[in-house]
Amino acid sequence: MEPLLSIKDLVKVYGKSTRALNGISIDFYPGEFIVVIGPSGAGKSTFIRCINRLIDSTEGNLVFDGDNLEKASGSKLRKERSKIGMIFQHYNLIGRTNVIKNVLHGRLHDTPLYKSIFGFFKHEDKKEAVELLEKVGLKDQIYKRADELSGGQMQRVGICRALLQRPKLLLADEPIASLDPISANIVMEQLHNISKEKKLTCIVNLHQVDYAKKYASRIVGIKKGRVVFDGKPAELSDKIIRSIYEGKESQMTLQNDAAQTGISTGVKEGPALQLTGGQKA
Amino acid sequence: MSNLNQKIKLDQEDSKKPLLIAALICATILFSVIYLKISMIDMMMGLPNFILFFFQNFFPPSLENVQQYIPAVLDTIGYAVIATFLSSILALILGILISENTNKFKSIRMICRALVSVMRNIPFVIWGALLVYIFGLGGIVGVLALIFVTIGFLGKSYAESIDEISGEKLEALRANGASYFQILLHGVLPQFVPSWINWTLFSFEINVRASVVLGLVGAGGIGVLIDTNINLFNYGEALGIIIVIVSIILLTEFVTNTLRKKLI
Amino acid sequence: MEMNYIRVTSKGSIWKMILLVAALVSIFVLAAMLINLNLEQFFARLENVPGVLNSMMAIDASIIPAALLELVTSLSLAFLALVVGVFLAIILSFLAASNITPNNFLSSFIKGSFAVIRSIPSLVWGLMVIASLGFGNTSGFIAMLFSAIAYLVKMFTGSIEDAGYDVIEAMRSTGASWFNIVYHGLLPLCITSFVAWITVRFEGNISESISLGIIGVGGIGLLLTQAIGTYNYAQTTTIVIIICSFMLIIEFLMTRIKSKITHGSR
Ligand SMILES: Nc1ncnc2c1ncn2[C@@H]1O[C@H](COP(=O)(O)OP(=O)(O)O)[C@@H](O)[C@H]1O
Ligand SMILES: [Mg+2]
């Protein structure tokens, strides 16, 4: 099968000497749900931002969907970016703008400026935005200002915004790191389900190994800017995990504990989970 | 044992520093008084003398001719309104050009910052005097002087507020494939609106005040009437005008405060 | 069609927006008609600009020593008015702040009268003071004192009121007197914000003391007015450059002090 995204010898140097990415070569195939794990400072965020060129890499090749990404600029770059959705740790919604407009930001790339100013989006775009919001259980909050929502709700709006781009690839940088365990479960669950349903390729940065094992179809371990593990969740042994987090074990155990309590509360709070699950149906 | 006799310090820090600062301030005061050749008696008696004079000569205010001042009052407010409108738009453009969030070209940022700095740091009446020099007496000069200073003030304040908008949020729009102007309109402006309203209302207050003074440099408005009347020893009349001015300014503050509460 | 229409904003918010824009536009138009600017004259005079600017492209170094001496005069005036103003304003603010005022009537009286004093521009104070005390530095000092105190009283009272009642209650419960509460409790609490306001006011004072020259108080403002009055372009340019660079230095220093104290307190 042709890879959807093919990365060769990706290097990113910040300033003079901070080598955040140290030569990464990897291929991603359509339909995969990839989780990238690694201690903080390993280069996960840098890696994911190099893919849609929010950060310009120092060296390396990026071929996405048959196009060379690293040379694109201006409107060509914007067009390529529009095919890649992104979800952020801090949601990054425009707080004083209402929910549906935030979701419609996903279509700015093919809406002319003068139309977007007055909110003249295409009917089908608006319809799809409402449907997406309905799917994540936010139908009643459409006209609320984004900063009036809870963290979990904001992240679900963030997912809708990325999905409205009708992307081929979805990037997520620590989508649940700022959420409480229950919201984190809901968000991961919805992200996973929707990408399954739409046969989307997902690359998700996480530092919780348990979540990675639960949802990923493929796990990539990054350490000091290098890929140190690439394989099926089942192949990720405790020994490998320990070597990925070597020198930062405290982080691993801490995060592991957090994830575990997260999941166990999630189970305990079964009814609550079901309730939101019901909403989205 | 000797510890017992030692003084217990109440401050951890070096107690010499405040003393040094105090000494420095005293020295500067002394220098200023000597340099200005103000006698201490004059300085101390200045305030009581003035207050005495004020109550003896300015009181009672004469409010008989208030109606005559209405055109001048309206002019004063009109100048302030026009200046606030125009400079809030021009300053927004400059603010966008100065903020790192919205302009990545360092050289342009620096040029605009310097421009705004110069506008802000030349006192308002001096702008007025210089502009009268070029354009002659009249209302245009007043409005221009107000605009110059207000752009200086607002440009800096706007830029600081735009800087405070988190770059992360704008990054999200970039990831959506939005163009520069779309990011500006859908990302920057909505977040900036509260500070925009706040600063602009504030600058309106300042402009009304400044607009009163404009008359003194020959640029229209109500200020010149005070000067004329004082020079003619019509102190009561002058105080009447001052009372009118105080009312305008207090009213302006009341209105801006109400708007602020309503809009934000 | 109608049924299917999906609105992007909640009901009514578009009308509010249109109304707001209409109101703003009409205010602008009204004001423009009111002041009735002579735009023709403006554009006609615009032709003078290159000429005037051209003749202003000159510097007269011989005025520099005198200008610097006068600058020190302006600075000294500003400083003196600031010191006395701060001293009086601190006393008045503690009497006026609603959380520590010894008497509510006194508080309202101080706040009210200083609101009035504040709304009179310092140049207008200058005119009145000159009328009573004549031209000279003392007049400049008194004129600036009014606006400095009025500004500082407002800002200081705000800072004191922000401190709330907690400290006051705690100290009152130990039996501390009014003066003790102010001196040992509130003053240390508020001093950083006081200093921040003082730096802001110092900038304002300098700008005012330069401006007062226009109405005949001494200082570099007077020198500039004389240069303008005699159409001495080179001197005008020189003095304006001196004023501007001096203001920039002061702004830089005050920003430094402000950031230093706010970081120190963290
Ligand atoms: N904007 C930046 N400037 C300089 N160094 C950076 C920047 N962003 C990240 N880094 C450095 O790059 C390395 C990788 O960071 P990051 O990609 O954020 O790691 P992770 O997301 O895995 O925590 C770290 O050492 C970090 O300090
Ligand atoms: Mg990260």
**pLDDT score for B9:** 66
Q: Kindly write down the DSSP assignment for every residue of B51-105, as one continuous string.
A: HHHIIIIIPSP--TTHHHHHHHHHHHHHHHHHHHHHHHHHHHHHHHHH-TTT---
Res. B214 pLDDT band, cuts 50 70 90: confident
User: E strand or H helix at A10, and its extent?
Assistant: strand A5-14
Q: In this predicted structure, what is the pLDDT of residue A270?
A: 35
A145 and chain B: CB distance < 8 Å anywhere?
no
CB contact under 8 A, C221 and B238: no
Tokens describing residue A24: 């990464």
Q: Does C4 touch chain A (CB under 8 A)?
A: yes
For residue range A80-137, list pLDDT tens digits in order.
Answer: 999 999 999 999 999 899 999 999 999 999 999 989 888 889 999 999 999 999 999 9
Q: How many CB atoms lie within 10 A of CB C256?
A: 11
- Cα(A243) to ligand 1 centroid in Å equals 20
C1 has a pLDDT exceeding 60:
no
Separation of CA B39 and ligand 2 centre (Å): 67
Residues of chain B in contact with residue A109, where contact means CB-CB under 8 angstroms, are 176-179
A45 lines ligand 1 (CB under 6 A): yes
Confidence band for B7, pLDDT divided at 50, 70 and 90: low
Check if A244 has its Cβ closer than 6 Å to any atom of ligand 1.
no
- The string of pLDDT tens digits covering residues B163-188 is 999 888 999 999 999 999 999 999 99
Residue B142 has pLDDT above 50, yes or no: yes
Among the ranges given (A36-40, A196-200, B214-218), the one the predictor scored with the smallest mean pLDDT: B214-218
User: Region A246-264: what's the mean pLDDT?
Assistant: 55
Is A188 within 8 Å of chain C by CB?
no
Query: Does some domain include residue A247?
Result: yes
Q: Please state, rounded to an integer, the average pLDDT across all residues of chain C.
A: 88
We report the CATH number of the domain holding residue A233 as 3.40.50.300
Per-residue pLDDT at C23: 93
What residues of C are in contact with residue B123 (Cβ under 8 Å)? 207-208, 210-211, 221, 243, 247
Lowest mean pLDDT among A41-45, B35-39, B237-241: B35-39
Given pLDDT bands bounded at 50, 70 and 90, which one contains residue A277?
Answer: very low
Read off the pTM.
0.86
Instruction: Identify from C6, C17, C18 which residue to disrupt to test chain A contact, counting A C-beta atoms within 10 A and taking the largest count.
Output: C6
Q: How far apart are CA A28 and CA A6, in angstroms?
A: 6
H-assigned helices in chain B: 2-5, 16-36, 40-53, 66-98, 106-121, 124-135, 139-164, 167-175, 180-182, 189-214, 223-231, 235-263
The answer to whether B174 faces chain A, any CB pair under 8 Å, is yes
Higher pLDDT, B236 or A262: B236
| Overall number of domains in chain A | 1
In a domain, A109, yes or no: no
Can you give the pLDDT at residue B201?
95
Is there a domain that residue A166 lies in? no
For chain C, say whether A127 makes contact (Cβ under 8 Å): yes
Task: Give span(s): CATH 1.10.3720.10, chain B.
Answer: 66-263
Residue A14 CB less than 6 A away from ligand 1: yes
pLDDT confidence bin for B13, thresholds 50/70/90: low
Tell me the C-alpha distance between B132 and B78, whole Å. 19
Q: What is the mean pLDDT of residues B228-249?
A: 89
CB B75 within 8 Å of CB C35: yes
Domain B66-263 CATH assignment equals 3.40.640.10? no
Nearest beta carbon to residue A88 from set B172, B179, B185: B172
CA-based nearest distance B1→chain C, Å: 31
What pLDDT score was predicted for residue A278? 33
Could you tell me which chains touch chain B, where touching means 3 or more CB pairs under 8 A? A, C
- Taking CA atoms only, the protein residue closest to ligand 1 atom 7 is A14
Query: Residue A263: what pLDDT?
Result: 44
Complex confidence, ipTM:
0.85
Instruction: Give the percent of chain B with pLDDT over 70.
Output: 94
Q: Is the CB of A38 under 6 A from ligand 1?
A: yes
pLDDT in the model for residue B128: 86
Whether residue B185 lies within 8 A of chain A, CB to CB, comes out as: yes
Q: What is the pLDDT of residue A281?
A: 28
* Residue nearest (by alpha carbon) to ligand 1 atom 27: A41
Containing H/E element for A14? Answer: strand A5-14
| pLDDT at residue C75 greater than cutoff 90 | yes
* Residue C160 confidence (pLDDT): 93
Least confident of A209-218, C49-58, C77-86, C229-238: C49-58
Minimal CA separation from A104 to chain C, in Å: 9
Partner chains of C (3+ C-beta pairs under 8 Å)? A, B
Q: Which ligand is nearest to the CA of A251?
A: 1
Contact list, A111 vs chain C (CB under 8 Å): none
Pairing, β A59-64 against β A33-37: unpaired
CB B211 within 8 A of CB B79: yes
Q: Is there a contact between C119 and B252 (Cβ–Cβ < 8 Å)?
A: no
The strand pair at A169-173 and A218-223 is best described as unpaired
Task: State yes or no: pLDDT of B235 exceeds 70.
Answer: yes
Could you tell me if C1 lies within 8 Å of chain A, comparing CB atoms? Answer: no
* Confidence label for B36 from pLDDT (cuts 50, 70 and 90): confident
pLDDT tens per residue across span A136-161? 999 999 999 999 999 999 999 999 99
Minimal Cα distance from A106: which residue of B?
Answer: B176
Whether A41 is in the pocket of ligand 1, judged by its Cβ within 6 Å, is yes
Cα of A98 to nearest chain C Cα, Å = 8
Tell me the pLDDT tens digit for each residue of C173-196: 888 888 888 888 888 889 889 999
Distance, in Å, from the CA atom of B127 to the CA atom of A223, rounded to the nearest integer, reads: 61
Is B182–A108 a contact, with Cβ atoms under 8 angstroms apart?
Answer: yes
The answer to whether A116 faces chain B, any CB pair under 8 Å, is yes
Whether residue A105 and residue B194 make contact (CB cut-off 8 A), yes or no, is: no
Instruction: State the Cα angle at A91 between A263 and A71, rounded to 5°.
Output: 115
More confident residue, B59 or A235: A235
Work out the mean pLDDT of chain B and round it to a whole number: 87
* Beta carbons of B193 and A96 less than 8 Å apart: yes
Interchain proximity A126–C4, CB inside 8 Å: no
Confidence of residue B6 (pLDDT cuts 50, 70, 90): low
Mean pLDDT lowest among A35-39, B50-54, B250-254, C194-198: B50-54
Is the C-beta atom of A201 inside 6 A of ligand 1? no
pLDDT-based confidence at residue C69 (cuts at 50, 70, 90): very high
Percent of chain A with pLDDT strictly greater than 90: 67
Tens of pLDDT, residue by residue over C129-160, are 998 888 888 889 999 999 999 999 999 999 99
Angle at C149 between CA B36 and CA C255, to 5 degrees: 80
Q: Which residues surround ligand 2, an ion (CB under 5 A)?
A: A 45
Give B167 to chain A, closest Cα distance, Å: 9
Interface A:C, Cβ pairs < 8 A: 21
Q: Does B181 touch chain A (CB under 8 A)?
A: yes
Q: Which atom in ligand 1 lies closest to the alpha carbon of residue A43? A: 17
Helix (H) or strand (E) holding A116: helix A113-117
pLDDT higher than threshold 60 for residue A269: no
pLDDT by residue (tens digit) across B70-126?
888 888 899 999 999 999 999 999 999 999 999 999 999 999 999 999 999 888 888
pLDDT cut 90: percent of chain C above it = 46
A234: in domain: yes
Q: Given this model, what pLDDT does residue A257 score?
A: 47
Residue in chain C lying closest to A100 (CA): C8
Q: Do A105 and B186 touch (CB under 8 A)?
A: yes
- Pocket probe for ligand 1: among A17, A46, A55, the residue whose CB has the most ligand atoms within 8 Å is A46
Q: If you average pLDDT over residues C23-27, what whole number do you get? A: 94
Question: Which residues constitute the domain of residue A244?
Answer: 1-83+211-269
